[in-house]
């Protein structure tokens, strides 16, 4: 591992008050930026590389930096010096980084970061120095120092990345989606950002400016550490007199987690407190223990047990004479069944990088095989003590390279030649033409590869672009548990669930063909009939009652559990946001506004999924929000949120959800309930009904189109 | 094109016989059992022309089943019973003319040897001397077999009985005995025994309808009835037929293939190719060569008390922090969805790439034993047909058991294919090819090298042409396994030396050279310059990073505890090299099981942050 290949990086986060302002229906920039940082640090922690990280906050209530003097560099605090990131940092970010009430110049903050980087990397070797700036640019800054700053950045070789709440090119006078136009400060800031980035890298500078939402999406995926492919140099032989030097690489292989679980004592959590002990005992009634030294090795040969010492075995076993990639012969590609591939890997075989002659020779073989549609059947031995394999080497010609693709083929002992009853000759199974065409339309509606207008094929579901969900989930849980040791495991990340499902477009498209298919194959009993029947027979009509009882018990249990765990709640989580919200308000450990912001953040996150299940989860959140706001006597947060939510409904296609709010009569908080409210009770009600009318209109339109089929059916 | 064996031994006179054996998937649901009930009447010993006698063929078949059982399903029970003998040998000798040669038990080396002794002319002689040929009473023979099953104390999951005979009227028209045999056969079938007839060539043809149609079990499907009617004249055919029957198809999972909400097709998942491995060694007690049992215990190092699994938790360490989970949580993290196959959509076949391979494919076929079998099979057949015609595969999410993370499968349609003898070559169903995730695909940096000219490619084509053969997946035996079992056989039977195995994976270099003639030299002249030696060692090149870092062995550096603690606190233990870390472990008496860097770091961190 190259030791110098590490990066020093400073995260520079704007915590100024403007970062808490959000456009209606959107998460405040502060929360977004915090998420970016969390995801990023989390990824660094699990990657376990040597990169060092610092954190600088600006707009903070306190001032803590080397440059602060008199009234200069105020409200900028170096939260953490350069260090390898760890869980403490993650906890600090989660618990201690809150929006401040001040403002600070982002250019000043940049200077503090540069100072930090330069001081702490002095005398050490780093591959890259980088500053990541997360801000809404909503502070007036003085551009007079800009040139000096740029000059210093260049001299020190420091690179810059910007993360903004809005896209860099969508700025100007056009309001970005969400509604609010950029302020004058922001426009000025954006110009300066552009200037800095362009002068650092004229061509691609602006590509290093990202939006928060983009970044969150990309950082959600835990990237696994790239393994350096191991070269396997060998010689391909054809007979005794033709040899070609080759190098093989594993190209496809199931990636395993790097770390495994170790067993510890449940109380002390110490590995050393547990010892695993293996004892041998005779197969008699007393289970007489015998010493390991008194045992010998043997094998079963059917009913026989054959003592066979390790020494004898080594002497008598099959031996190979070292690594080999020997061609046994050539056969047609069509003779090789791909479902008979065995083994757990695919090798790609190239000529050595610096050997042109081997390259030409191998190319000759690859092209000959490709033209003839044939493969080489080869004997493959990895190393002297490796077992021989027989496999197929397929020709593979790409635009940029040529290679052989090697896959292992089965031995006779590996095959199970099952025969299955024919499906063709059996009348019972033979589908009708009608049924076949129903299947055809299902296939049509569910094609995942589409051609767009320009004839370019687009694959809607690329498995080889999905990260292994097992590890994504594992890291998510590890992170959660590391930071919240006593909390239950978090639910699956919604993006992961979505990534593993039928793409939305396909799911919608196949609805009608599926219905037809159901009608054409009318036998519906798919569930194991027997079981269902018996349970019904057994319980008869009384089934409903115990169910209801059970639900009640469950509810109580839930409530108790909530009480027990509430002590550890420090933020509004995603499992039960309403409960967390209630608890936090009661605890008064955080300011009311902050908690409200966290809750609305969660609601927005849930609504982002556009799914009825998530909508259902949101309703109690809003109910609790309202209820607690009335109790606390502060209606501002609730009312402004509901108002902004309402305006964003049509844009975000959330009519369905709004409908649910109307049904539950979640009106604005009126004057009678809370003094500070500006709404009369009539206003509050009006507010909802206005939405309802619009709703009906939309619904009616939808209904109209839906009727056509029904009408036809009736005729 | 020549087949592998012919091609491999071009100069030898090839006898086209290959031993046909196949593996069986054993699950702990119970033992499989198989009884060979072999006719020992005079007719069985009469060979026609050059063909071996029906008895000889049967013995060869039995032998190959014995050896294949030993290798691939060593828990299965096998018995060999003769009927129509002169002598009788069975418990209490209550059944006349029935000779139990091998009781229902695991086959072993001795038994293989026994059966060998019954082969060929000498074998016929031995059989004549020990058993002789006499009266036939199939009813008694079947009764005797049913006792074999009932005497077994183990749980039997699959019971099969194969009758080998060349006589279509065993009792020569004695209707009383016919009736008795039919009754006994139906008794057996009622207890779950499947009876197959392996009828052999008989002059004048074998008429199943005369008697045996009432004895054997009904076939699995209608179509099979027709092809079962022809008697076997050749050993190869008989072996094929026995092999197809001898193995119980076992599915690794029974699942629903979900096409969409409310459209579930019950399917079984089978494995048709899986690497057979050498079985694990067992420990024997030195004094009596009896197997010993191993017991694993967990105990507390401080208190010495035994620990239950519930007294433990699981941890992983990241960035110096121990992350603790319950065993159940570790399991439940792997749960994504309930077991099943969920259809995502369809893709044209060309989207399935050659390198999409992670492990052996599975085979998907409608579940036969479910109530809804017919309906499922119908939907399944329709899907199979249309996918096949339209050359598309179905992309599915596959969750095998409750806590297994999902994998994506490409379901590739396969239409049924039969050979001239109506034997199935390809079964109808879908092959499920495992598709790699992003993590499973490694990025390789490739460099562009010069490509071959047309004349060079043409010369290679000549070479390829000379070395063509017809690949068959069952042509190669695993030399490692074969050698292992030959060794065991030799030891079990006290042979001087194990039987020689032929390593079919070795290239037959002489034959290849001969076929190529001057072609190899011509190709070399075309691609290699005169001074180039393709077999020469490439200068050992190390990666530049390694060369800079660790080629020279550093002298041992003893590190002070403070220094080390400093490293632990800063979390930069990773900067130290593995040898230094190992030394440090020794120095502080930290026990490490692994040698991976991370393990060393974890161990040290754990020790020093106590």
pLDDT band at A611 (very low <50, low <70, confident <90, very high): confident
* A251 → closest Cβ in B259, B442, B487: B442
pLDDT band at B593 (very low <50, low <70, confident <90, very high): low
Q: Strand A295-301's sheet: what is its strand order? A: A304-307, A295-301, B282-285
**Lowest pLDDT segment from A73-82, A193-202, B105-114:** A193-202
Cβ contacts of A551 within 8 Å, gap of 6 or more: none
CB contacts under 8 A, A 46-65 vs B, are 46, 48, 50
Max mean pLDDT among A120-129, B307-316, B409-418, B553-562 falls in B409-418
Between helices B175-190 and B138-151, what is the axis angle to 10°? 20
* A305 → closest Cβ in B291, B377, B429: B291
A315–chain B Cβ distance below 8 A for any pair = no
Please identify every residue of B annotated as catalytic: 27
CB contacts under 8 A, A 430-469 vs B, are 430-431, 435-436, 438-440, 442-443, 446-449, 459-461, 463-469
Residues B257, B364: contact at Cβ < 8 Å? yes
User: Chain A contacts of B598, Cβ < 8 Å?
Assistant: 48, 258-259
pLDDT score for B6: 65
**Lowest pLDDT segment from A442-456, A517-531, B333-347, B538-552:** B538-552
Q: Which residue has the higher pLDDT, B15 or A569?
A: A569
pLDDT band at A29 (very low <50, low <70, confident <90, very high): confident
CB contacts under 8 A, A 487-526 vs B, are 489, 492, 500-503, 506, 510-511, 514, 517-518, 521, 523-526
pLDDT score for B564: 74
Q: How close A5 comes to chain B (CA, Å)?
A: 11
pLDDT score for A443: 94
Q: Tokens in use for A60?
A: 């903070």
Place of tokens 């548990």: A481
- How does pLDDT run across B64-112, given as a tens digit for each residue? 888 888 877 777 889 999 998 888 888 877 888 899 999 888 888 888 8
Cβ contacts of B485 within 8 Å, gap of 6 or more: A301, B67, B70, B71
Q: How close B548 comes to chain A (CA, Å)?
A: 9
User: Chain A contacts of B376, Cβ < 8 Å?
Assistant: 526
pLDDT score for A178: 46
The yes-or-no verdict on residue B547 having pLDDT over 70 is no
Q: Which of A300, A302, A386 to mutate to test the interface with B (most CBs of B within 10 A)?
A: A302
- How does pLDDT run across B226-265, given as a tens digit for each residue? 445 567 767 777 777 777 666 667 778 888 899 988 788 8
Residues B35, B77: contact at Cβ < 8 Å? no
- Radius of gyration for the alpha carbons in chain B, expressed in angstroms and rounded: 32
Across all residues in chain A, what is the average pLDDT? 80
- How does pLDDT run across A104-125, given as a tens digit for each residue? 888 899 999 999 998 888 888 8
Does the beta-carbon distance from B529 to A283 stay under 8 Å? Answer: no
Q: Tokens in use for B215?
A: 């004895």
Cβ contacts below 8 Å, chain A against chain B, sum to 690
- How does pLDDT run across A124-171, given as a tens digit for each residue? 888 888 899 998 888 877 778 888 888 888 888 888 888 888 887 654
Residues B300, B307: contact at Cβ < 8 Å? yes
pLDDT band at A391 (very low <50, low <70, confident <90, very high): very high
- How does pLDDT run across B274-315, given as a tens digit for each residue? 888 888 888 888 888 888 888 888 888 888 888 887 888 999
**Lowest pLDDT segment from A521-535, B360-374, B557-571:** A521-535
Provide the percentage of residues in chain A whose pLDDT is more than 90: 21
User: Chain A contacts of B371, Cβ < 8 Å?
Assistant: 525, 528-530
What distance in Å separates the CA atoms of residue A631 and residue A674, rounded to the nearest whole number? 8
Does the beta-carbon distance from B374 to A294 stay under 8 Å? Answer: no
Does the beta-carbon distance from A294 to B24 stay under 8 Å? Answer: no
Nearest to A300 by CA among B290, B598, B158: B290
User: Chain A contacts of B523, Cβ < 8 Å?
Assistant: 242, 361, 364
Q: What is the pTM of this model?
A: 0.70
Nearest to B559 by CA among B537, B543, B575: B575
Residue of B nearest to A375 (CA): B464
A1–chain B Cβ distance below 8 A for any pair = yes
- How does pLDDT run across A358-383, given as a tens digit for each residue? 999 999 999 999 999 999 999 999 98
**Lowest pLDDT segment from B37-51, B74-88, B96-110, B360-374:** B360-374
Length of chain B, in residues: 610
**Lowest pLDDT segment from A387-391, A447-451, B450-454, B573-577:** B573-577
Does the beta-carbon distance from A358 to B259 stay under 8 Å? Answer: no
CB contacts under 8 A, B 330-369 vs A, are 330, 332-334, 336, 342-348, 351, 354-361, 363, 365-366, 368
Cα angle value A265/A270/A272 (rounded, 5°) = 95
Q: Which of A299, A444, A483, A494 to mutate to test the interface with B (most CBs of B within 10 A)?
A: A299
Q: How close A373 comes to chain B (CA, Å)?
A: 11
pLDDT score for A227: 64
pLDDT band at B543 (very low <50, low <70, confident <90, very high): very low
**Lowest pLDDT segment from A407-421, A627-641, B223-237:** B223-237
Q: Which residue has the higher pLDDT, A327 or B45?
A: A327
Nearest to A395 by CA among A380, A412, A378, A411: A378
pLDDT band at A689 (very low <50, low <70, confident <90, very high): low
- How does pLDDT run across B133-151, given as a tens digit for each residue? 888 888 889 988 888 888 8
Does the beta-carbon distance from B375 to A226 stay under 8 Å? Answer: no
pLDDT band at A695 (very low <50, low <70, confident <90, very high): very low
pLDDT score for B229: 56
Q: Strand A289-290's sheet: what is its strand order? A: A289-290, A274-281, B293-300
Across all residues in chain B, what is the average pLDDT? 80
Residue of B nearest to A412 (CA): B474
A168–chain B Cβ distance below 8 A for any pair = no
Does the beta-carbon distance from A329 to B469 stay under 8 Å? Answer: yes
- How does pLDDT run across B186-220, given as a tens digit for each residue? 888 888 888 888 888 777 778 888 888 888 877 65
- The predicted model gives B17-38 an average pLDDT of 56
B268–chain A Cβ distance below 8 A for any pair = no
Which DSSP letter does residue A247 get? E
pLDDT score for B383: 93
Q: Which residue has the higher pLDDT, B563 or A180?
A: B563
Place of tokens 């070292």: A322
pLDDT score for A530: 40
The β-bridge relationship of strands A128-134 and A158-164 is parallel
Max mean pLDDT among A358-367, B181-190, B598-607 falls in A358-367
Does the beta-carbon distance from A401 to B437 stay under 8 Å? Answer: no
Residues A363, B452: contact at Cβ < 8 Å? yes
- Radius of gyration for the alpha carbons in chain A, expressed in angstroms and rounded: 33
Q: Which residue has the higher pLDDT, A1 or A212?
A: A212
Residues B295, B90: contact at Cβ < 8 Å? no
Does the beta-carbon distance from B294 to A374 stay under 8 Å? Answer: no
**Lowest pLDDT segment from A605-614, B80-89, B521-530:** A605-614
- How does pLDDT run across A473-514, given as a tens digit for each residue? 998 899 889 888 889 999 998 888 988 999 998 999 999 999
* A439 → closest Cβ in B261, B330, B382: B382
ipTM above 0.85, yes or no: no
What distance in Å separates the CA atoms of residue B474 and residue B486, rounded to the nearest whole number? 19
Q: Tokens in use for B564?
A: 């080390």
Place of tokens 């294949």: B68
Does the beta-carbon distance from A411 to B276 stay under 8 Å? Answer: yes
* A269 → closest Cβ in B313, B355, B520: B313
């Amino acid at each position: 591992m190259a030791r110098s290949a590490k990066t020093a990086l400073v995260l520079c986060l704007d915590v100024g008050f403007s970062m808490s302002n959000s456009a209606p229906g959107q998460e405040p920039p502060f929360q977004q930026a915090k998420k970016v940082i969390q995801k990023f640090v989390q990824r660094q922690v699990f990657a376990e590389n040597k990169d060092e990280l610092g954190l600088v906050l600006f707009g903070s209530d306190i001032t803590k930096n080397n440059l602060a003097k008199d009234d200069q560099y105020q409200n900028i605090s170096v939260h953490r010096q350069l260090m390898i990131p760890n869980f403490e940092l993650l906890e600090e970010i989660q618990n201690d980084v809150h929006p401040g009430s001040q403002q600070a110049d982002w250019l000043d903050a940049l200077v503090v970061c540069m100072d930090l980087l330069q001081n702490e990397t002095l005398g050490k070797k780093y591959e890259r120095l980088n500053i990541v700036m997360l801000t809404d640019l909503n502070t007036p800054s003085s551009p007079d120092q800009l040139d000096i700053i740029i000059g210093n950045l260049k001299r020190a070789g420091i690179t810059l990345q910007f993360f903004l709440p809005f896209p860099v090119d969508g700025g100007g006078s056009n309001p970005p989606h969400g509604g609010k136009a950029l302020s004058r400060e922001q426009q000025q800031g954006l110009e300066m950002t552009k200037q800095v980035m362009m002068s650092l890298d004229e061509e691609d500078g602006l590509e290093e400016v990202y939006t928060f939402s983009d970044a969150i999406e990309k950082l959600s995926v835990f990237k696994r550490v790239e393994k350096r492919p191991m070269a396997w140099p060998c010689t391909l032989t054809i007979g005794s007199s033709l040899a070609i030097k080759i190098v093989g690489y594993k190209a496809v292989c199931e990636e395993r987690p790097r770390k495994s679980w170790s067993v510890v004592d449940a109380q002390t959590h110490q590995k050393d407190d547990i010892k695993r002990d293996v004892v041998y005992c005779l197969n008699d009634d007393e289970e007489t223990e015998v010493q390991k030294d008194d045992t010998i090795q043997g094998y079963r040969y059917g009913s026989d047990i054959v003592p066979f010492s390790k020494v004898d075995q080594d002497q008598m076993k099959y031996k190979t004479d070292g690594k080999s990639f020997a061609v046994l012969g050539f056969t047609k590609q069509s003779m090789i069944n791909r479902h008979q591939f065995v083994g757990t890997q695919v090798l790609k075989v190239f000529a050595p990088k610096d050997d042109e002659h081997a390259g030409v020779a191998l190319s000759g073989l690859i092209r000959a095989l490709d033209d003839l549609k044939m493969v080489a059947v080869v004997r493959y031995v990895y190393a002297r003590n490796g077992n021989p394999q027989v496999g197929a080497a397929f020709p593979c010609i790409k635009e940029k390279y040529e290679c052989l693709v090697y896959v292992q083929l089965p031995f006779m002992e590996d095959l199970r030649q099952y025969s299955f009853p024919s499906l063709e000759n059996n009348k019972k199974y033979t589908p009708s033409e009608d049924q076949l065409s129903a299947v055809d339309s299902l296939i049509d509606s569910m094609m995942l590869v589409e051609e767009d207008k320009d004839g370019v094929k687009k694959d809607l579901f690329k498995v080889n672009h999905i990260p292994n969900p097992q590890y994504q989930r594992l890291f998510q849980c590890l992170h959660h548990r590391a930071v919240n040791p006593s909390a239950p495991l978090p639910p699956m990340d919604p993006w992961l669930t979505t990534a593993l499902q039928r793409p939305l477009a396909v799911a919608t498209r196949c609805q009608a063909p599926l219905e037809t298919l159901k009608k054409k194959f009318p036998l519906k009993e798919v569930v194991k009939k027997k079981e269902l029947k018996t349970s019904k027979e057994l319980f008869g009509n009384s089934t409903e009652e115990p169910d209801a009882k059970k639900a009640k018990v469950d509810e109580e249990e839930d409530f108790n559990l909530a009480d027990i765990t509430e002590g550890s709640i420090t933020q509004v989580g995603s499992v039960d946001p309403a409960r967390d919200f209630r608890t936090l308000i009661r605890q008064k450990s955080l300011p009311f506004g902050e908690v409200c912001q966290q809750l609305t953040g969660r609601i927005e996150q849930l609504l982002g999924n556009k799914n009825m299940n998530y909508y259902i989860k949101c309703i109690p959140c809003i109910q609790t929000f309202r209820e607690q706001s009335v109790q606390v006597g502060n209606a501002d947060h609730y009312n402004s949120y509901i108002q902004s939510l309402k305006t964003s409904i049509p844009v975000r296609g959330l009519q369905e959800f709004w409908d649910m709010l109307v049904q539950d009569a979640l009106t604005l908080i009126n004057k009678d309930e809370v003094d500070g409210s500006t709404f009369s009770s009539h206003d509050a009600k009006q507010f909802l009904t206005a939405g309802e009318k619009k709703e009906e209109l939309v619904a009616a339109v939808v209904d109209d189109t839906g009727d056509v089929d029904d009408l036809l059916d009736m005729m | 094109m020549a087949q592998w064996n012919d091609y491999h031994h071009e100069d030898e006179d090839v006898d086209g016989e290959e031993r046909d054996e196949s593996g069986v998937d054993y699950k702990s649901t119970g033992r499989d059992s198989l009884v060979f009930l072999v006719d020992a009447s005079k007719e069985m010993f009469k060979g026609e022309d050059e063909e071996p006698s029906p008895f000889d063929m049967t013995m060869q078949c039995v032998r190959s089943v014995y050896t294949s059982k030993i290798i691939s399903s060593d828990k299965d029970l096998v018995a060999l019973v003769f009927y129509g003998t002169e002598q009788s040998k069975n418990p209490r000798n209550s059944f006349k003319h029935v000779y139990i040669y091998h009781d229902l038990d695991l086959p072993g080396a001795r038994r293989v040897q026994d059966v060998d002794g019954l082969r060929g002319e000498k074998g016929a002689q031995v059989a004549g001397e020990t058993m002789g040929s006499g009266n036939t009473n199939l009813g008694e023979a079947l009764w005797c077999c049913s006792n074999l099953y009932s005497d077994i104390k183990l749980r039997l999951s699959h019971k099969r009985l194969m009758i080998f005979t060349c006589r279509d009227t065993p009792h020569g028209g004695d209707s009383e005995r016919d009736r008795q045999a039919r009754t006994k056969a139906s008794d057996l079938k009622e207890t779950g025994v499947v009876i197959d007839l392996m009828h052999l060539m008989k002059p004048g043809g074998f008429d199943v309808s005369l008697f045996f149609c009432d004895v054997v079990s009904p076939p699995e499907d209608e179509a099979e009835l027709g092809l079962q009617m022809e008697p076997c004249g050749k050993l190869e055919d008989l072996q094929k037929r026995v092999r197809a029957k001898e193995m119980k198809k076992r599915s690794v999972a029974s699942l629903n293939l979900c096409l969409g909400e409310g459209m579930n097709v019950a399917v079984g998942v089978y494995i048709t190719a899986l690497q057979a491995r050498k079985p694990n060694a067992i420990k024997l007690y030195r004094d009596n060569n009896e197997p010993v049992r191993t017991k694993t215990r967990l105990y507390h190092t401080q208190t010495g008390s035994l620990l239950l699994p519930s007294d433990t938790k699981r941890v992983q360490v990241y960035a110096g922090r121990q992350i603790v989970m319950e065993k159940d949580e570790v399991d439940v993290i792997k749960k994504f969805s309930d077991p099943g196959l969920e259809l995502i959509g369809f893709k044209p076949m060309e989207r399935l790439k050659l390198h999409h391979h992670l492990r052996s494919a599975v085979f998907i076929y409608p579940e036969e034993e479910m109530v809804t079998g017919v309906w499922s099979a119908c939907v399944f057949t329709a899907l199979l047909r249309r996918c096949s015609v339209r050359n598309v595969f179905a992309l599915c999410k596959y969750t095998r058991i409750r806590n297994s993370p999902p994998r994506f499968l490409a379901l590739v349609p396969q239409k049924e294919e039969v050979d001239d003898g109506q034997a199935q070559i390809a079964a109808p169903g879908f092959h499920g090819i495992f598709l790699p995730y992003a993590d499973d695909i490694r990025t390789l940096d490739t460099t562009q090298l010069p490509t071959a000219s047309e004349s060079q490619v043409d010369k290679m084509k000549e070479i390829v042409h000379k070395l063509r053969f017809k690949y068959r997946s069952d042509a190669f035996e695993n030399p490692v396994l074969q050698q292992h079992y030959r060794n065991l056989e030799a030891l079990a039977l006290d042979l001087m030396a194990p039987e020689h195995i032929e390593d079919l994976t070795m290239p037959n270099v002489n034959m290849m050279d001969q076929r190529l003639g001057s072609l190899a030299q011509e190709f070399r002249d075309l691609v290699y310059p005169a001074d180039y030696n393709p077999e020469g060692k490439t200068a050992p090149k190390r990666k530049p990073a390694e060369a800079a870092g660790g080629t020279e062995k550093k002298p041992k550096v003893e590190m002070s505890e403070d220094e080390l603690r400093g490293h632990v606190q800063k979390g930069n233990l990773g900067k130290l090299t593995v040898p230094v870390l190992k030394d440090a472990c020794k120095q502080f008496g930290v026990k490490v099981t692994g040698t991976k860097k991370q393990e060393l770091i974890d161990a040290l961190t754990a020790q020093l942050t106590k």
